[in-house]
Amino acid sequence: MYSDLLLTVAVVASVVFFGALITRGNERQRRSIDKLHAAYKQWAMHDLRIKRGVAGNQIKIEDLTAWLRKVTAQAFGRETIVLDFYKHESPVVSVEFHDASTGNTVVCALESPDEVKTILKKKRPTIAGDLRTNPIFRLGKKTPAVELSLLNAGMLFDLELPVAWDAFTGRKTEAGTLWAYILD
pLDDT of residue 146: 92
Cβ count within 10 A of residue 68:
22
Residue spans per domain, the chain? 1-58, 64-183
pLDDT at 75 over 60: yes
CA distances from 148 to 43, 53, 89, 122, 129 (A): 27, 21, 21, 26, 31
pTM (2 d.p.): 0.67
Tell me which amino acid residue 29 is.
Q
Residues with Cβ < 8 Å from 122, sequence gap 6 or more?
A: none
Mean residue pLDDT of the chain comes to: 84
**Model pLDDT for residues 91-145, shown as the tens digit of each residue:** 889 999 999 999 999 999 999 988 988 887 776 555 555 455 778 787 788 889 9
